[in-house]
Chains A and B, each alone.
Chain A
Amino acid sequence: MTLSVNQLQCSRGDICLFEGLTFELTAGQLIWLEGKNGSGKTTLLRSLCGLFLPDAGTIKWKGELTRSTEDTFYKDLFYLGHQNALKLDLNPVENLQVLSRLAGESVSEEQADEALSRFGLSGYEETPVRKLSQGQQRRVALSRLLLSKASLLILDEPFVALDAAAVELLQSVIVTQVEQGGMAILTTHQALPIPEEKLIRVSLDRYV
């Protein structure tokens, strides 16, 4: 189970963000993506997911081009971008259930309740997301992590808007997933408690 990126090149408008980007990620590893603002971190994550079409280069999942095997790739992928992908008029449980059914999985109400309570949201199950704070909304979105069976996590600034307790919880969730043989790519300014040999640092500033 590997994600291999070879000679990837992406540009926004007329500006080339990075070129010749090559790395490999295997089970149990985590990539910490670094780079200045505007260096193309989000663009890289989006092109790994297939949301953005790179100018050149290949992205392979389990040895196959992700472009041509989207349905199997997306079964293994969990992506969370800057947006929470929550419907403000639905309550957290409904949101979690709809999103997992869209992905072809099914989540019972109890499972959803449990995931929400681990992120400190018990008591808010029936509240429309509209009435939750920014940080709470982010936590609802992140509790999907506990329900997902995906082995590749791609997280864009997952720690933003979280308080210290939630940051710690999220870190432990990610670390557990990775230690159980999953893999993750994320951008963040926090330090992660992960042993150096399992952590790959990729800095985009070097590829401009």
Chain B
Amino acid sequence: MAINWFKYSSPSSFYPLAGKMIPVFMTLAIVLIMGGLYWGFFETPDVLSDQKQYYRIIYVHVASAWMAMWLYVVMVAWAVLGLIFNTRMSYMMASATAITGAIMTALSLWTGAFWGQTSWGTWWDWDPRMTSQLILLFLYIGYIALQSAIEDNRRSDRASAVLAMVGLAIVPVIYYSINCPDPNECASLHQESSLKRVESNILIAMLVVTAGFWMYCFAVILMRVRNIILLRESHTQWVERLEVKK
């Protein structure tokens, strides 16, 4: 079955569709996050290697850190779609994604600080992962700042899309330089994934919470994009009809 995707690239047809999708994603998010957190809090061991109960913040921390990175890619993907097809809807999705991404990044830094304080006795450490996360936050902030500095929507959409693409192109280099500041010592970038060491119960709970976070992010991004649509299209007839109906 062929679906005309471009039909949904117009704000007037995407707005009601998003409205229908939000409750679905929100319900899924609540179910998955509650389920995952229940499993994580009550069905997993009390001690993770040498870390005690407080390690359970991992369920929020890891999920938000992953979302922070993925949402950046999602944002760039929307921006690229916008530049290629010149569809306003894509740019609106990109800017809605940016804010959720920035919030996720901040959340992961915040929960990370709590975890660090309880396990290492320090709020902040310049370890490569935390540093990369901080830089990611700066990239999000740059994107949002550029977008809000330009008043003309069309220019702000396209300029911030270019910035996002440039950012994505440089991100691997930034990560490499943070992970490996001394090129004499690490010739290759093979970091042992810590996922393999995690006990399977904890891993399952973590993945379920992450799936829940995905659903939550979809829901709030759609809510945000509906607001953006209303703001930008406030002068059009279909928005006026919307107001009459209410």
Instruction: Tell me if chains A and B make direct contact, with any CB pair below 8 A.
Output: yes
List, in ascending order, chain B residues with CB within 8 A of A14's CB.
153, 232, 235
Please give the number of chain A residues whose Cβ is less than 8 angstroms from any Cβ of chain B in the complex: 3
Give a binary string over A49-78; 1 marks a CB under 8 Å from any B CB, 0 the rest: 000010000000000000000000000000
- Give A53 to B157 CA distance when docked, in angstroms: 14
Q: Quick check: is A195 within 8 A (CB to CB) of the other chain?
A: no
**Nearest B residue to A15 by beta-carbon distance?**
B235
List, in ascending order, chain A residues with CB within 8 A of B153's CB.
13-14
List, in ascending order, chain A residues with CB within 8 A of B154's CB.
53
Q: Quick check: is B192 within 8 A (CB to CB) of the other chain?
A: no
B6 to chain A, nearest CB (A): 15
Chain B residues touching A, range: under 10
Q: Quick check: is B182 within 8 A (CB to CB) of the other chain?
A: no
Q: Quick check: is B185 within 8 A (CB to CB) of the other chain?
A: no
List, in ascending order, chain A residues with CB within 8 A of B232's CB.
14
List, in ascending order, chain B residues with CB within 8 A of A53's CB.
154
List, in ascending order, chain B residues with CB within 8 A of A13's CB.
152-153
- Give A14 to B236 CA distance when docked, in angstroms: 9
- Give A53 to B154 CA distance when docked, in angstroms: 10
List, in ascending order, chain A residues with CB within 8 A of B152's CB.
13
- Give A13 to B154 CA distance when docked, in angstroms: 7
Beta-carbon contacts under 8 Å, B142-172 to A: 152-154
**Nearest A residue to B151 by beta-carbon distance?**
A13
B232 to chain A, nearest CB (A): 7
**Nearest A residue to B86 by beta-carbon distance?**
A53
A43 to chain B, nearest CB (A): 12
**Nearest A residue to B236 by beta-carbon distance?**
A14
A192 to chain B, nearest CB (A): 34
B169 to chain A, nearest CB (A): 24
Beta-carbon contacts under 8 Å, A1-35 to B: 13-14
- Give A14 to B232 CA distance when docked, in angstroms: 8
**Nearest A residue to B235 by beta-carbon distance?**
A14
A-B interface, 6 closest residue pairs, ranked by CB to CB distance from nearest: A14-B235, A13-B152, A13-B153, A14-B232, A14-B153, A53-B154
6 residue pairs A–B, Cβ–Cβ below 8 Å: A13-B152, A13-B153, A14-B153, A14-B232, A14-B235, A53-B154
Identify the B interface with A (CB < 8 A): 152-154, 232, 235
